[in-house]
Amino acid sequence: MQNYDKLFINGRWVLPVHPASFDSIDPSNEQVITQVAAASPSDVELAVEAARQAFDSGIWSGLSGTQRAHYLHAIATEIRNHLTQLASLEVQDNGKPYPEAEWDINDAADCFDFYAKLAVELDTQREQDIALPDVRFHCVARKEPVGVACAIIPWNYPLLMAAWKVAPALAAGCTLILKPAEATSLTAIELGRIAEKVQLPAGVLNILTGIGADIGPALTEHPHIDKVAFTGSVPVGKQIMQSAAHQVKNISLELGGKSSFIVFEDSELDAAVEWIMFGIFWNQGQVCSATSRVLIHEDIYETLLLRLKTAAEKIKIGAGFDTEVKLGPLVNQKQYHHVLAAIERGVKDGVRLVSGGNRPTEFSQGYYVQPTIFADVPEDHPLWNEEIFGPVVSIRSFKTESEAVQSANNSIFGLAGAVMSKDLDRCHRVARALRAGIIWINCSQPTFSQAPWGGYKQSGIGRELGIWGLENYLEVKQITTFQSAETWGWYLS
Ligand code: NAP
Ligand code: MG
């Protein structure tokens, strides 16, 4: 096991100014994997200064997009070269099944390659001529990097969430500070080693591991940080908005969700079972876009519930390195207690429990929770309205399309939604009616670096991925030239 006791600041590995660390825990056995450096606000100062100097010096923003793309491709290659090591670290740190971890690491590499391509395109698309009604003026809109960015990420897709922010920020020409989640810091540190290996200029990417409550405010309020990009919970997102308001910082927020999957009566039952399960049990349901509430047409309701129960009870639960396993432990003790408490509340309130609802009895250690299905969930119950972020799905039946759409839209969130039917006209009508940023038709969850990602309502502000992800890290500057040989002639007329 490598060492994880240092921070990556200004291209060097340094101990925290006030030496401190926290345990990294393997959620499959509750054992300590290693110690991770815990940064304090003093380290924030050093990292922000390094990122600021690197930005202001032009060593990164002054490169062409093509030159920056060279580094991004090199990072992608190194991620792929270390696929097994990185995927294994994610399994140990997060608990997810190994094949899912490999999938995530490959996606992270692809994300760096994708933004390398956009960095190259930026060279020819940086300036756009703007037609003005007065020919004495010439105007261009020019895209420039926002400056120093701070990326704060959650624990559900550790390296992938880092890639979603680091890759576009670097492509745009920003320098940045990455703060991974306390529960899963290890692959972020490996990303620092990769940055070092590809000789990314010092100070361009700085990595601060630590406790969010201790260093988060120092980062988000720092006057030398221009942009805060955050993925995480709604309460922390609100705090970040407030603290970023002091300097009117550019922010983007990717927050939680309670997304609905509407299944019409003409759906293929096998496909419905597959995608409903993918929508809630993948990554142990710890997915912001999880379709954690399902609306099933009354004609197929009881049949599909039975099929789901049978399929859910066949899922092999266990540690992520077991090749048969499809459901690992939850990420940590806090999440485990949170999910079990949500289930217990449903049971106590008499909600119909179709399957699961407990800790599996075969494990003496590890944060395992059975895949859990509740049916006939009342619309005003927390199981229906609150994000659980675990393998718990809440199901209701519906009669009409408009009733299903209304029920799906009745939420403070608007991250995602899914609809299944053989009638594609109906699917597209429902897709347009749903108030959410991502809609899947006849599937749930597949995600591509090219397509926009983000939420309506309290699910966030802004979009990641695709060209939108790059624009998150760009300012637009108007440059207008007076090009007439004649004087303007107002004061000197
Ligand atoms: P969280 O508690 O909000 O933490 C997210 C990140 O913020 C972590 O790095 C955390 O550090 C840090 N943080 C905590 N307090 C902070 C503060 N006061 N200032 C600045 N940063 C602070 O969320 P989580 O429990 O890790 O993740 C689960 C939540 O994230 C769910 O609600 C889920 O829906 C959402 N999520 C959304 C998306 C999306 O794309 N929309 C993706 C994944 C997850 P520590 O870990 O050290 O506390
Ligand atoms: Mg961990």
List ligand 1's pocket residues with C-beta within 6 A.
Answer: 152-156, 179, 181-183, 211-213, 216-217, 220, 231-233, 236, 239-240, 254-257, 288, 387, 389, 415, 460
254 noted as active-site residue:
yes
Token pair belonging to 215: 């260093």
3-state helix, strand, coil in the chain (%, to 5): 40, 20, 35
Closest atom of ligand 1 to CA, residue 183 = 46
pLDDT score, position 299? 98
- Angle 287-290-296 (CA atoms, 0-180°, nearest 5)? 165
pLDDT score, position 235? 96
Residue nearest ligand 1's atom 45 by CA:
212
**What's the 262 CA to ligand 2 centre distance in angstroms?**
34
Closest atom of ligand 1 to CA, residue 459 = 41
pLDDT score, position 493? 78
**What Å distances lie between residue 343 and 271, 293, 313, 332, 355, CA to CA?**
27, 14, 17, 17, 11
What is the mean pLDDT for each group of 10 consecutive residues in the chain (493 residues)? 94 98 98 97 98 98 98 98 98 98 98 98 97 97 98 98 98 98 98 98 98 97 98 97 94 97 98 98 98 98 98 98 97 98 98 98 97 98 98 98 98 98 98 98 98 98 98 98 93 86
182 noted as active-site residue:
no
Order of all β-strands in the sheet with 12-14: 12-14, 7-9, 205-207, 175-179, 148-152, 227-231, 250-254, 460-461
Closest residue by Cα to residue 419 from 233, 264, 288:
264
**φ, ψ at 4 (rounded to 5°):** -125, 25
Q: Given 100, 190, 254, 471, which residue is catalytic?
A: 254
pLDDT score, position 320? 98
Closest residue by Cα to residue 319 from 98, 104, 34, 136:
98
Contact of 257 with 416, CB cutoff 8 Å = yes
Q: Given 111, 174, 288, 427, which residue is catalytic?
A: 288
- pTM score, two decimals? 0.97
Ligand having the closest approach to the CA of 29: 2
DSSP string for residues in 365-381: SS-----EEEES--TTS
Question: What is the DSSP pairing of strand 456-457 with strand 438-441?
Answer: unpaired
pLDDT score, position 421? 98
Buried b (16+ CB within 10 A) or exposed e, 394-407: bbbbbeebeebbeb
Token pair belonging to 246: 């002091």
pLDDT score, position 109? 98
pLDDT score, position 1? 79
Q: Please state, as a whole number, how many other Cβ atoms lie within 10 Å of the Cβ of residue 2.
A: 11
pLDDT score, position 2? 86
Closest atom of ligand 1 to CA, residue 210 = 47
Alpha-carbon span 52 to 61, nearest angstrom: 11
The one-character DSSP state at 315 is P
pLDDT score, position 467? 98
